Amino acid sequence: MITFFVAFLVSLVVALALTWVVRERALAWGWLDPVNSSRKVHVQPIPRLGGIGIVVGFFAPLCALFLVDSGVGLQFRAQTDLIVGLFAGGAIIAALGLYDDLRGAGAKLKFSVQFAVALGLYALGFRIEVLANPFGAELTLGFLSLPLTMLWVVGVINALNLIDGLDGLAGGVAFFGVGTHFLLALMRGDVLLCLLMIALAGAILGFLVFNFNPASIFMGDTGSMFLGFVLAAVSIKTSSKSGTAVSLLVPVMALGLPIMDTLLAMVRRSLLGRPMFSADKEHIHHRLMSRLLLTHRTTVLVLYALCTLFMLTALGLHFANSLQSALLLCGMGVVMMVLMRKLGYLDMRNAGAVQQTRQRNQQLRTLVKAVTRAVREAGSLQEVWNALRPLATGMDAATQELRLRRPYEEPEAGVTFEAQRPEAGASAPLEVRVVVKDGDLLLGSLRLCWRDGRGTIDRDEELALEVVADAVAERTVELAHLESAKPARVIALRR
């Protein structure tokens, strides 16, 4: 127990100190999470590299085991597959998250790296080979073990990433998952898994000191993806060493909230015709705030309570027999159905509206895809504007305006393009303006105005405009670089 206490204390202190340092440096260097997106909940730019403190805080006591001559250290050094899997895989995932926080990483790059790391874990022996069935005999996966293991690892990584939407939420959810695995490992006498979980718990708490509402720093993808990776890897070890009839259901329940939120997001986006990897404000924490009118902090505390329920269910499944497990799962299912109904996920009265929204979103996606493709092929700012012209017609806007300037030009040196559609209505105007930015560099704005009587635009239209604005910013910077790279005119002088 002394080793556990020391590991917890070291990770806590390291995470506290490093998170503070990162916060101060991020503020000084401008590495902030902006507020120019409709998806953001915070109202001012906040540093987003707090995950560095979690990563280093977790590894600090584990690295010390290589230097300390102790029984626990000998056991740890003997577990080559565990060391290589966690250290190498964790470092790669943390590096991917850091790159995404600083530069931005596309979905293809993220999933390629995540699946490669998951494949590496499988090769090292992190495998899901049996599916438990509380209602009957267990199922041996055979050749399906590889794809299921990879899907589990990648799925948990992104589930923690998706739920990172409120101050203290992702860290708190991960802490409850860590607590569940720690207790399960402690009951089995698994010293190494206990050590891993107590180190991660200290790192999370050290970070939460600065992240709980009102947060002064975010963990970013560096922290959320790293937490997801460690929990995914440890949960495979937990399930493989469990002798219960519901071995894999225990870690599923331990991570019940992020898994449920991810599945709901996938179903929601599929039904509404939205891109599967698009962002929205319809997650469980968003609906708790909008439908139940809860404050930011109260929402997080309610979700902590829900995580506690998942944690108790997971621990109950560990000790229950098949019949008791079935009853526990049915009871938890009823609780989830009531919650989803309360949050409006199961409201069948909106089935017709869902179909209309799906058709409109499919048309909107086609429009945005065509517009962004044309923008990326534009050879001048005039052609960029010409590529944007179909937006007004496709979105029924009465007026469309683009203000744009090349990078590092004076604001007054920019150009303004404007088009009007008088036939689009004569009601009171609704105006929406989206900034065109390349990182922190303001390049202009895209403005649309409607006169068809609407009082607001929906989230899908808002997100579509942001995608278009990002494409305009990207092409504007590219055009500026192309112009600066053109060879200067050479005039030959003769005597």
Burial label for 390, CB within 10 Å (0-12, 13-18, 19+), is middle
Residue 357 placed within a domain? no
7 and 75, same structural domain? yes
389 and 331, same structural domain? no
CB within 8 Å of 481: residues ≥ 6 apart: none
Residue 324 placed within a domain? yes
Final residue in a domain of this structure, among 342, 366, 390: 342
Final residue in a domain of this structure, among 327, 342, 357: 342
User: Comparing C-alpha atoms, which of 236, 239, 263 is closest to residue 250?
Assistant: 239
Question: Residue 389 belongs to a domain with what CATH number?
Answer: 3.30.450.40
Check residue 420 and report its DSSP letter.
E
173 and 26, same structural domain? yes
30 phi-psi bin (left φ>0, alpha ψ -120 to 50, beta other): left
Spatial contact of 343 and 291, defined as CB atoms under 8 Å apart = yes
122 and 257, same structural domain? yes
289 and 156, same structural domain? yes
422 and 282, same structural domain? no
Residue 116 placed within a domain? yes
Q: Is 158 annotated for ligand binding?
A: no
Residue 351 placed within a domain? no
Domain count, the chain: 2
Instruction: Quickly tell me which residue has 């495998």 as its tokens.
Output: 127
394 and 296, same structural domain? no
Spatial contact of 274 and 142, defined as CB atoms under 8 Å apart = no
Spatial contact of 368 and 468, defined as CB atoms under 8 Å apart = yes
419 and 334, same structural domain? no
Going residue by residue through the chain, which has 495 residues, state the pLDDT in tens, using 9 for 90 and above: 787 888 999 999 999 999 999 999 888 887 777 655 545 554 567 888 899 999 999 999 988 877 776 666 677 777 778 888 999 999 999 999 999 988 888 888 999 999 999 999 999 989 888 776 666 666 777 888 999 999 999 999 999 998 988 899 999 999 999 999 999 888 888 888 899 999 999 999 999 999 998 889 999 999 999 999 999 999 888 776 554 444 567 788 888 899 999 988 888 888 887 777 777 778 899 899 988 889 989 999 999 999 999 999 988 888 887 788 888 889 999 999 999 888 888 776 666 777 888 888 888 889 999 999 999 999 888 999 999 999 988 888 889 999 988 777 776 677 889 988 777 667 788 899 998 988 778 888 999 999 888 888 887 888 889 899 999 999 998 888 776 655 544 444 444
125 and 18, same structural domain? yes
321 and 392, same structural domain? no
Residue 353 placed within a domain? no
Instruction: Quickly tell me which residue has 């000084």 as its tokens.
Output: 28
User: Comparing C-alpha atoms, which of 416, 418, 466, 473 is closest to residue 442?
Assistant: 473
Q: Is 221 annotated for ligand binding?
A: yes
What element of type H or E holds 337?
helix 322-342
Residue 471 CA to chain centroid, in angstroms? Answer: 21
Final residue in a domain of this structure, among 342, 359, 392: 342
280 and 146, same structural domain? yes
Distance CA 86, CA 65 (A): 14
E-assigned strands of 107-229?
130-131, 139-140
Q: Where in the sequence is the domain holding 89, given as residue range(s)?
A: 2-342
Residue 490 placed within a domain? no
291 and 392, same structural domain? no
Residue 371 placed within a domain? no
pTM score, whole prediction: 0.82
Residue 220 placed within a domain? yes
Query: What is the Rg, in whole angstroms, of the alpha carbon atoms belonging to the chain?
Result: 26
Spatial contact of 233 and 85, defined as CB atoms under 8 Å apart = yes
